[in-house]
A and B are shown apart, each in its own frame.
Chain A
């Protein structure tokens, strides 16, 4: 059944399309969620200098590879937006699938990394550091998965030339997921 948008959706008293506006508000709420978690972690980390020894066991190389993968996947998100702006839905969809490929690579690297760490005995309950490590990176990974699924829907629509404005919104969300990782990587991997 086709869903007819109400007139409300088509209005724009601010001059900003409603989808973009809502996306920014969604990100605002996400920032506070990650902000609360990371502030808790930082306060604990300052109070527990001995966690540095635990953090030394994280795999910085895997983290660095993932950083590169995730940042590169944002490039294709931008290219998808550019294609959508020019009205080329097929091209936008292709770039979105490349972004999703980046997300999948990120998750694969992460799963090898975590499997290895769990085998080594660095499990969730080993110390406060590892609790925060799995909690924060896990929450981020959930966002990567959710973002990929959303982008999949947008890509399917875009390939048919529908709802092209959503390509941009998916991209905004994807950049946010990147930025969170930019905070996580130094806080969890590099700080030793």
Chain B
């Protein structure tokens, strides 16, 4: 709480009911030219911190994507030379798989979806000049950056990076004799724990900002969906991650100090780790899902020119999802020896959680119904998010049923299932938000045609990877095998062909990203007229600030008069009605 720098404001500035006026404060005025480090590493401006999180996340995604490329090549063409990588040993394979999962979830999905978009959108959308705790915000990014550096450095220590899978089940993760990576494992646990600290700090900031710093006139029910969802995701994260932090401490002790929390030979319990991990791990799915859901809801409303269908009901389904998500974790442990009666209960709760999620999808479809739909690039991403995530959700029903899971457990069916949830969340979610808010962030428009080509090739590649993997999984492909030619019953031509198809799909998906990079770089370099603050004709407050928003965001802090989704109002000529536009007849 108490950073060393003293503050310029009066000690009693926190008085409840302090009237927010936006006139009497002078802090917008001073910006002296800043050095590189001041601007990019020590900035307290929420937009800069959002950029830092976003580009760090994207850089980490490139590393995670490269790892996926390397091990998919190994699976399609076992023990052949991999261009850009070389030959892959079984240990390296395990390291690549482990860190691919870790990076994509903790260093790509989390920083981009929650931290980057949360930082960018929450202050802009609720109409204030920054987060309530800018210096905690800065600290959060710095800890995150440190955790990323520690994770990367773990690849280069003796014994190589951690290779006990991203779920880190002991005893494999706890004993260096088993995983053959001593320091690497410790660094991995340390990096993950630090990353959690960063997001706890960020989360407290998001929740407090949205609760406390809303523009005058904005009720909780006037907040755009994405703000709601990032706040609820932060609460879910905060409520679920604690046991895993405790578990991480215990695992560090097991690895380094010879304790045996998870060692059954001396009275420990390896399944305890699975409980601690999945008590966090399952809500974590919703932690990253909800921000993407919120963005897609906002984008669908803008490009259907319609009010979001059943805004409040949608939020109730989100609350329900959040609560139920704490009662489903043991569906990851159906074959870990839990009591079948307990498995029954968790089957039921798991199937129940698909109800609110399905309802969200239906509400989005109802929003589209009868709207004047514009298939812009962000809209394409938003629609594909709902469609592809649906596939992930539906295949989850198979795995949530304890009977079917006994067969499907640890096969490629599971891999395909959770990639149909996480790729839409992380990759599609990132492109959806990035293309939609790009004009806001940079004051320029991306090329639509290139964007559409990039979209279609990415979606094609993505489905080409994971549809075949459903089949190889159903035919028995175990997920942790680095060379199937060692297993005669799995080394069949039909199966190997499907594995090659999946790898080719990955190559297509990766090469499509060159189009995206080209589009972004071309747009940055081109001289282009600023499209103005509101190119999409959206209602929310972020679009009333100049593009890109200056320090302090708004020339005059806005006042809110209505909800965020007043599109195509029958009594108005224009088809949108910004939240901050005074009602007709009022003098202000």
Contacts and interface: CB of A to CB of B under 8 A. Distances in A.
B1 A19 contact: yes
A56 interface: no
A125 B207 contact: no
Interface string B224-247: 000000000000001111111111
Chain B interface residue count: which class?
A: 35 or more
A15 B17 contact: yes
A14 B214 CA distance: 10
Contacts of A16: 16, 212
Interface stretch (A75-83, A113-121, A159-167, A182-190): A159-167
Interface stretch (B92-100, B249-257, B413-421): B249-257
Interface stretch (B52-60, B129-137, B521-529): B129-137
Interface in A5-25: 5-19, 21-23, 25
Interface string A122-142: 001101100110010001000
A3 B27 CA distance: 9
Contacts of A128: 260-261, 266-268
Contacts of A37: 243, 246, 249-250
B14 A18 contact: yes
Given A10-B20, A127-B267, A163-B7, A18 B213 contact: yes
A170 B259 contact: no
A36 B243 contact: yes
A48 B260 CA distance: 14
Name B's interface SS. Answer: loop
Given A2-B8, A25-B238, A32-B242, A124 B2 contact: no
B276 interface: yes
Nearest to B272: A40
Nearest to B45: A6
A14 B211 contact: yes
Contacts of A165: 11-12, 14
Contacts of A26: 200, 204
A52 interface: no
A33 B243 contact: yes
Given A25-B204, A25-B238, A29-B241, A125 B258 contact: yes
A8 B242 contact: no
Given A12-B17, A44-B269, A153 B208 contact: no
B208 to A, nearest CB: 5
B135 A10 contact: no
A170 B1 CA distance: 8
Contact of B133 (A9, A29, A39, A170): A9
A29 B280 CA distance: 13
B213 A11 contact: yes
24 contacts: A2-B6, A4-B26, A7-B129, A8-B128, A8-B212, A10-B13, A10-B20, A11-B213, A18-B14, A18-B133, A21-B211, A22-B132, A23-B1, A32-B243, A36-B247, A40-B250, A44-B269, A124-B257, A124-B258, A128-B260, A139-B246, A157-B6, A163-B7, A165-B14
Interface of B: 1-9, 11-18, 20, 22, 25-27, 44, 123, 128-135, 200, 203-205, 207-209, 211-214, 218, 238-247, 249-250, 253, 257-261, 266-269, 272, 276, 279, 552, 557
